[in-house]
Amino acid sequence: MVTQHAIAAPQDPRSALVELCMHYWYPVYAYVRRCGHAPDIAQDITRSFLQNLFVHFRDDAAALAQARFRAYLLARLNAFLAEDWRRTPDGEMASELQHAPNNLELRYQRDNIQSHSPEAAYQYSFALEMLSRATHRLRAEARQTGHLPMYEALHKFLAVEPVAGQYEELARELGRRPLALVVALKRLRQRLRELIGEELADTISSSDELDAEMKVLHSILREKAR
């Protein structure tokens, strides 16, 4: 677990914690945007919050060790916004936090969460980030193993079933048998579930929480799909 690793590494907690914060910059940004802040202000607030989290996380070590990172991050964000977030964060700014990712507002508009409450926007964005990271890893694995054409043909069906005739059409394009595509899609879906589990494992304090957090993730995504 990344959270546990950061707490247990007093000589260098920076790398694990900053890495985790960078992974979930977007959900924080989405929450701040839904609180009514303009894009540039939301970026500044997000950066300041993550720096504040990094500087003071040792004070929260006990809470972080017992909490799911998704809930911990939101609770700390609410506390930060309730204070004077305009105050310059203590300590030297972590170099990774000096520049915001350049696609935050683009993602915010694309994900169509402008009508969500701040918390709903955060939860959905967190789930999307988790899914995006797992999907990117799945694609990278396909490329490394020489199966990228198969992945590119099937990735749109990771969450939906092909309609009648689509397997046959794709099989002709790839020069493969339809049954081979059925098997490949089943394996891709299974591997995606495993990768999502690995991403989730970095955000929980105990492996016992993995199934519960996976159910929460699925529930959030299903609710949005309705």
What pLDDT digit, counting tens, does each position of 68-116 carry? 889 989 999 999 999 877 765 555 566 666 667 888 999 999 988 888 8
Question: With bands split at pLDDT 50, 70 and 90, how would you rate the model's confidence at 42?
Answer: very high
107 Cβ contact partners less than 8 Å away, ≥ 6 residues apart: 26
Question: With bands split at pLDDT 50, 70 and 90, how would you rate the model's confidence at 12?
Answer: low
Residue 14 has pLDDT above 60, yes or no: no
Instruction: Give CA angle at 66 (137, 132), nearest 5°.
Output: 20
Report CA Rg, the chain: 20
**How do the domains of the chain map onto residue ranges?**
2-225
Residue matched to tokens 């940004």: 29
Residue 190 has pLDDT above 80, yes or no: yes
Residue 129 has pLDDT above 70, yes or no: yes
> Of the candidates 50, 36, 43, which has an alpha carbon nearest to the alpha carbon of residue 104?
43
Provide the pLDDT for residue 15.
Answer: 64
Provide the pLDDT for residue 60.
Answer: 65
Q: What is the mean pLDDT of residues 191-200?
A: 94
Provide the pLDDT for residue 180.
Answer: 93
- Residue 207 in contact with residue 201, Cβ under 8 Å? yes
Q: Which amino acid is at 180?
A: A
Residue 205 has pLDDT above 90, yes or no: no
Task: Show the tokens assigned to 117.
Answer: 């409450």
Provide the pLDDT for residue 92.
Answer: 58
User: Is the pLDDT higher at 91 or at 28?
Assistant: 28
22 Cβ contact partners less than 8 Å away, ≥ 6 residues apart: 96, 97
- Residue 20 in contact with residue 203, Cβ under 8 Å? yes
Provide the pLDDT for residue 209.
Answer: 83
Task: Show the tokens assigned to 166.
Answer: 């689509």
Q: End-to-end distance of the chain based on CA atoms, in angstroms? A: 32
Spatial distance between the Cα atoms of 67 and 33, rounded to a whole number of angstroms: 25
- Per-residue pLDDT tens digits for 137-184: 999 999 999 999 999 999 999 988 999 899 999 999 999 999 999 999
Average pLDDT over the chain reads 84
Provide the pLDDT for residue 157.
Answer: 94
Provide the pLDDT for residue 96.
Answer: 63
pTM of the predicted model, to two decimals? 0.84
